[in-house]
Structures are given as structure tokens and as C-alpha cells.
Amino acid sequence: MERISSDSGWSVSRPTSKTATVHAIWGEDDARTREVAEKVSIPNVASSPEEAVADANIVFVVSRHGGMHLDLARVAINARTLVFVDKPFTVTPDDARKLVTLAEGAGVPMVSFSTLRYGSDTVDFKRRMSEIGPVRYASYTGPATRQNDYGGLIFYSIHTVELMLHLHGIDVNSI
């Protein structure tokens, strides 16, 4: 992986392998989208989500605001394209149900997850948990704010919830 940074403060990792390529990118902020495309060698800056999806084998819906994910994923699903939806999947349970129903109805595979479970610290922590025996009590904290531009608590708290489920399973007695 190659790490690329910009003067405006963002950074991304770009795979150095040529086994996959990013064909197109679309974003609401055209200037930032063009900056990202140039930095990571994405050849096409699409003028719409539909244009970005047109020739894709898989679409990554990556918006900071989960409230946009239903509409953006709908474009990929309508094009019968595999879709990954970044966290948070959606901001509301109703939108989540609509998105799952839409993908299932179209027969389009869709996935959403946080990559934190695959980090070396998490993998090591889970291995060490199995060595010490059953957990009777766990306390988790993480970054989250009720008021933000990205849908409230769900924006970052989803990482904490996903780690809890990954480490303890879905049969937790209480939260």
C-alpha cells in the first residue's frame, strides 16, 4: 500500500497491485473529487452517480453522511452492480430496511462493515480473549456526538457497536 496525503489534510492508501483498478469517482464536491482522482490516479471523474456506476463491476458507496447511502446505493442496485456501503449503513432503521429490501428484491449482493475488525490490534485482542476464558462484563467507549453534520450518534458509534458484536457475538444479554 502507498499512503498519499494532500495539503488540505486528507490522506488515503492506494494499493500498489494492479489486480484491481478504480475506473471512476463521483462526489458532491467537484473540486475535492478531482483532487482525490488526481492524487490516486482515478481516470474518470463522473458528472453523476449514474455515470460512475455505468461500467463498474462493483460500486463503493462512501459518503460521510449515512443519510445519503440509500439513494446512492439505489443507483448501483438499479444497475445490477455489486455494492459495498460504507459505515454507517444508513442513519435510520427504516432506510436500512428499505436498502436491504431493494438489494434483495433485485438479487444484488450488498455488504457493509467496518474494517476495524481486521486490524492487527483487534485480531490480537480477540485471540487473547479466547485464551483468558469467557467474558462476564465488558465496557466499551468510543467517539460519538449527538450533534454533528453526519447523522448524529450513528456516525462513529457504529464502529464501537460493530467491534462489540465481532468480539462477543450477537447473543449479548444487555447493553
Sign of the alpha-carbon dihedral angle for 103, 108, 113, 117: positive
**Is the pLDDT at 43 greater than 80, yes or no?**
yes
Verify that 32 and 50 share a domain, yes or no.
yes
pTM: 0.72
pLDDT of 3-37, one tens digit each? 555 554 555 555 566 677 889 999 999 999 999 99
pLDDT of 130-162, one tens digit each? 888 888 888 887 777 777 666 666 667 777 888
**Is the pLDDT at 94 greater than 90, yes or no?**
yes
Please indicate whether residue 102 or residue 169 has the higher confidence score (pLDDT): 102
Verify that 120 and 94 share a domain, yes or no.
no
Question: What pLDDT, on the 0 to 100 scale, is given for residue 47?
Answer: 95
Question: What pLDDT, on the 0 to 100 scale, is given for residue 130?
Answer: 84
Q: Is residue 100 part of a domain?
A: yes
Verify that 107 and 124 share a domain, yes or no.
no
Residue appearing with cell numbers 476495524: 116
User: How many domains does one find in the chain?
Assistant: 2
Residue-number span of the structural domain to which 69 is assigned: 2-111
Strand ranges inside the chain, DSSP E: 2-5, 11-14, 24-25, 44-45, 58-61, 82-85, 110-111
Verify that 52 and 136 share a domain, yes or no.
no
